[in-house]
Amino acid sequence: MGRPRLILLVRHGESQGNRDKSVNRYIPNHKVPLTEHGHEQAKHSGQLLRKYLKEDDSICFYTSPYLRARQTLADIIEEIDDLGVCYKVFEEPRMREQDFGNFQSTPEDMQEMWVERAKYGHFFYRIPFGESAADVYDRCASFNTTLFRQFDREDFPSILVLVTHGIWARVFLMKWFRWKVEYFENLQNIPHCSWLVMERDEKNDRYKLKTHMATWSELEDRQREEKMKEDASDELQLSANAGLSANEVSKVVNAAVKAEDEQVRNAKYDHLLNEADGVACENCRKC
């Protein structure tokens, strides 16, 4: 078979860490499980996967070793098992999410770190005792090399499925399609259990990203500001439970929004971002 006709990426379902960031203070990140809603999302994702399959398809699943990703994969497979499709499953440590540094600190310390990251830049900012997105990029580069070797085999399955995380999926696509750093930082996060579809063009043997990647710059100013505040509040778990006053919460959120909004405004007019979604570098033989 050689190169698969489809490469499908899916972010894990909603986890306890997505529901309540405080669990990261006492549960190792790799052991954070799915919520009940996350399992439902994963099962629905499995039902959607059925629509991509042809009668003679076979699947190669690669999954992050994190519990929430492995649980998502198990739910997906359960939804297609009755089809009798031939599949293989591999666990790949290089597909783990960006390392945020063991157990997380106090809400106040985490809020300060997220604001600092927004000002510094999401791609190059290295989490204390953890990784930057640039470090994840290096892992993706190594994993891609492994995939290209696998694609040389004639018996490689017709569909490759990568069950992973939000940051990792965006970095993987950035590496594959040679996106600029500015474009990566302009991308919104990927919804839980949403499929990202890469389809191979038989004429040139390259892949086209069929799924639209939502960006901050495509939103109107008011929409962007409201969405950023919503995402920042969710990411930082800013609430009365964190022991912060309403003014303190507003100060932290506004600082993060201001920093990210400045990056978006710069990126919006950068000619380097004029590349269409999924357009591969013309000089890249591996895209």
pTM recorded for the entire structure: 0.83
CA triple 103-108-109, angle to 5 deg: 50
What structural domains does the chain harbor? 6-106+122-215 (3.40.50.1240)
Decide: 43 and 79 in contact? Cβ < 8 Å: yes
- Put residue 153 in one of left, alpha, beta given phi > 0 → left and psi -120 to 50 → alpha: beta
Chain centroid to CA 234: 16
pLDDT tens digits, the chain, 287 residues: what are they?
579 999 999 999 999 988 887 888 889 999 999 999 999 999 999 999 999 999 999 999 999 999 999 999 999 999 999 999 999 999 999 999 999 888 877 777 777 887 788 788 889 999 988 999 999 999 999 999 999 999 999 899 999 999 999 999 999 999 999 999 999 988 988 999 999 999 999 889 999 999 999 988 887 666 666 666 666 555 554 444 444 455 555 555 565 556 555 555 555 545 444 444 444 443 344 44
Task: Report how far residue 107's alpha carbon sits from residue 101's, in angstroms, rounded to the nearest whole number.
Answer: 15
Pairing between β-strand 6-11 and β-strand 58-63 as defined by DSSP bridges? unpaired
The rounded distance, in Å, linking the Cα atoms of 180 and 272 is 7
Q: Rounded to the nearest 5 degrees, what angle is found at the Cα of 175, between the Cα atoms of 152 and 129?
A: 115
Q: Mapping DSSP to helix (H, G, I), strand (E, B) and coil, where does residue 286 land? A: coil
Provide the annotated binding site for substrate.
Answer: 11-18, 68
Hey, which residues are catalytic here? Answer: 12, 97
Which residues carry a binding-site annotation?
11-18, 68
Nearest in space to 221 (alpha carbons), one of 264, 269, 252, 267? 264
